[in-house]
Amino acid sequence: MGSRILPILILLVGGILLLSASTFVVREQDMALRVQFKSVIGKDYKPGLHFKVPFIDDVFKFDRRVLTKKFDGEQFLTSESQVLSVDYYIKWRILDVQQFYQATGGGDEIGAGSLVGQRIQDGIKNAVARRTLKDIVISDRQQVTGEFIVRASESLRNLGVELIDVRVQRIDLQEDVAARVYESMKQTFEGIARTQRGEGDRESQIIRSEAERKRTEIIAEANANAQRIRGEGDATAAALYAAAYNRNPEFYSFYRSLQAYRASLGKEGDVLVVSPDSEFFRYLKSSTPQRR
């Protein structure tokens, strides 16, 4: 009985090994290449179970997700030969798995990450070397990386790699260098502030002068219009008075005398010296109109 079970077990184990060597599984986040004698014979495998020639075909799997590689404390020299310590990271992913495999000599992701990092490092090195320390401190970090990211992206496409992003996280200076740079920046910004304040005061004076001139013109024009309207009103009033006088001179004389009485008589402290026979008291003596 035992002699029969042993061959069956050997066949079963051999079948499992053969099946395992003949299949491979591709996950959702994987990209797979089937290689036979260093030649790519299969790619673009969908997630699931796939078959291969056992012991002849090799399967290489790569991560299709966005990969991140961080670089800390990388040293760069400015145009003034000042040392900067820069921390940055890069994000990239495999765009063409076959091209990536062939360009990197077997698709080593660690080696490929170092190769990508080296090309980005060269770009940052050139960007920093063209600037002074002061320019780097006051410039936008995106401006530094933006100069070379397009060229680096085109270069990395030859590796089958897509460059997603490059971000500079930190730039460190030596303490004495930083103090000199910040003092120089302070003096520069103070000069700019003084210049801008002077320009603002000059503009303020111009605006005030212009406003004062317009104010004077508006007031003069308003006074002229007021005088003209007042003159027209007085002329109209005089014409009305003249017409009323010509229509009934006696009534007009009586009305004017009443206005004079109201304005002159009955006020406390007023003294009026007039002869009783004066024409001023004519309507107080008699309200009968004089006949002419």
Residue 214 located in a structural domain: no
Kindly list the distances between the CA atom of residue 68 and the CA atoms of 161, 163, 251, 257, 285, in Å, as whole numbers in the listed order.
13, 10, 109, 108, 119
Q: Write the burial class of residue 120 (CB in 10 Å: 0-12 exposed, 13-18 middle, 19+ buried).
A: buried
Residue 257 located in a structural domain: yes
> Where a domain ends, among 120, 145, 173?
173
Q: What are phi and psi of 50, to 5 degrees?
A: -135, 160
Q: Tokens 């091209």 sit at which residue? A: 99
Same domain assignment for residues 26 and 115? no
Same domain assignment for residues 128 and 32? no
Q: What number of other Cβ atoms are within 10 A of residue 92's Cβ?
A: 24
Which pLDDT value is given to residue 286? 59
**What digits encode the pLDDT tens for the residues 88-141?**
888 888 888 888 888 777 666 666 777 777 888 888 788 788 777 767 766 666
Query: CA 34, CA 246: separation in Å to the nearest integer?
Result: 125
**Number of structural domains in the chain:** 3
Same domain assignment for residues 87 and 120? yes
Residue 42 — very low, low, confident or very high, per pLDDT cuts 50/70/90?
confident
Handedness of CA 42, 43, 48, 54 (dihedral sign): positive
Residue 208 located in a structural domain: no
Outline where 104-174 has alpha helix (H): 109-129, 133-138, 141-157
Q: What is the pTM of this model?
A: 0.49
Query: CA 262, CA 112: separation in Å to the nearest integer?
Result: 112
Give 210 or 105, the one with higher predicted confidence.
210
Residue 199 located in a structural domain: no
> Where a domain ends, among 173, 191, 213?
173
Which pLDDT value is given to residue 256? 72
Same domain assignment for residues 118 and 138? yes
Same domain assignment for residues 80 and 162? yes
Residue 194 located in a structural domain: no
Same domain assignment for residues 25 and 83? no
Same domain assignment for residues 59 and 143? no
Domain CATH for 108: 3.30.479.30
Same domain assignment for residues 131 and 45? no
Residue 203 located in a structural domain: no
Give 173 or 205, the one with higher predicted confidence.
205
Query: CA 200, CA 184: separation in Å to the nearest integer?
Result: 24
b/e map of 237-256 (b: 16 or more CB within 10 Å)? eeeeeeeeeeeeeeebeeee
Query: CA 137, CA 6: separation in Å to the nearest integer?
Result: 76
Same domain assignment for residues 152 and 83? yes
Same domain assignment for residues 72 and 161? yes
Q: What is the mean pLDDT of residues 268-275?
A: 64
> Where a domain ends, among 63, 97, 118?
63
Res. 291: pLDDT tops 60? no
Q: What are phi and psi of 75, to 5 degrees?
A: -95, 130
β-strand partners of 165:
91
Same domain assignment for residues 54 and 96? no
Q: What are phi and psi of 47, to 5 degrees?
A: -60, 135
Query: What is the span of the domain harbouring residue 275?
Result: 237-285
Residue 180 located in a structural domain: no
Same domain assignment for residues 88 and 53? no
Which pLDDT value is given to residue 287? 54
**What digits encode the pLDDT tens for the residues 220-267?**
999 999 999 998 888 888 888 777 777 777 777 777 777 776 766 666
Res. 292: pLDDT tops 50? no
Residue 279 located in a structural domain: yes
